[in-house]
Amino acid sequence: MALIKYKETTKTRRFASKMEKPKNNKNVIKKLRSILQKHSGRSNGTVTVRHQGGRHKRYYREIDFKRNKFGIEGVVSALEYDPNRNVEIALIKYSDGEYRYILGLKGLKVGDKVQADEKVEVKIGNAMKLKNIPVGTAIHNVELTPGKGGQIGRSAGTSLTLQAKQAPFAHLKLPSGEIRMVPLECLATIGVLGNEEYKNMELGKAGRKRHMGIRPTVRGTAQDPGSHPHGGGEGRSGIGRKKPMTAYGRPAVGKTRNKKKLSGKMIIKRRNK
């Protein structure tokens, strides 16, 4: 969808913009929607994730990331807005009467037909195994483990490129420039995700950020020493330490990742610096 600039010239609207929303389907599929519980980054009253809170009430739309209705053709019934992600969603009505949501694609229109199987026609919206997808095809919603459902390539304007196939893995190039190996038995969906202009959207005012549930982020040096290791001091003082620290007193720079949890063995080329 297109990016819309506000015509108002007030201080908050002058630079603000928004994404054009598709017309929602009047026949809401209630079983695919449920109230999204609001936790505000807290567990039993304790803040476990900072900078979260507030937020407008939302419904969660159940998205079919697995695409496991093999051999059954579906028709795009409607394109809808989803408050939980930066890409639109498409409501699919299958020939057996079942409705499911999938991620909205660039070029996908109401009335288009989609299908998932081990091997289907190479066109946008169709899903099949990587071993049957031609090299050089743009794909998204790619599984990392067969049958688990799509885990990478799910945000607005995103697509991965199938660069090579060398059994038992396929070589995929991610938007970051990283080249990763993924099992050939994993499913992927053909096409590029829509809403590519989302990255250019300007919120314009702090209130829109609060409606999203994102609270302000305050510099550590602007806080008191009881709230942050960088806090305290007279005037604009520095951090007062050899290394920058997180709010919890852990190092904020350098190698802080756990080597045991890294998936480096599946990465052929690291992302572009």
- Sign of the CA dihedral 66, 91, 1, 9? negative
pLDDT value, residue 25: 60
DSSP 146: T
Q: What's the CA gap between 98 and 62, in Å, rounded?
A: 13
Q: Which residues of the chain have pLDDT under 50?
A: none
- Do β-strands 17-19 and 42-43 pair in parallel, antiparallel, or remain unpaired? unpaired
Residue 208 resides in a domain: no
Residue 211 resides in a domain: no
- Do β-strands 59-61 and 74-80 pair in parallel, antiparallel, or remain unpaired? unpaired
Residues 228 and 188 reside in one and the same domain? no
Residues 269 and 181 reside in one and the same domain? no
pLDDT value, residue 164: 97
- Sign of the CA dihedral 172, 177, 179, 182? negative
- Do β-strands 33-35 and 42-43 pair in parallel, antiparallel, or remain unpaired? unpaired
CATH number at residue 66: 2.40.50.140
pLDDT value, residue 273: 61
| Residues spanned by the domain of 252 | 218-273
**Could you tell me if 221 and 238 are in contact, meaning their C-beta atoms sit under 8 angstroms apart?**
yes
pLDDT value, residue 216: 96
pLDDT value, residue 12: 83
CATH number at residue 235: 4.10.950.10
Residue 206 resides in a domain: no
Tokens matching residue 80? 């809808």
Residue 45 resides in a domain: yes
This prediction has a pTM of: 0.89
pLDDT of 205-214, one tens digit each?
A: 999 999 999 9
**Could you tell me if 104 and 195 are in contact, meaning their C-beta atoms sit under 8 angstroms apart?**
yes
Q: What's the CA gap between 78 and 151, in Å, rounded?
A: 24
Residues 159 and 44 reside in one and the same domain? yes
pLDDT value, residue 263: 65
How many independent structural domains does the chain possess? 2
Q: What's the CA gap between 220 and 247, in Å, rounded?
A: 7
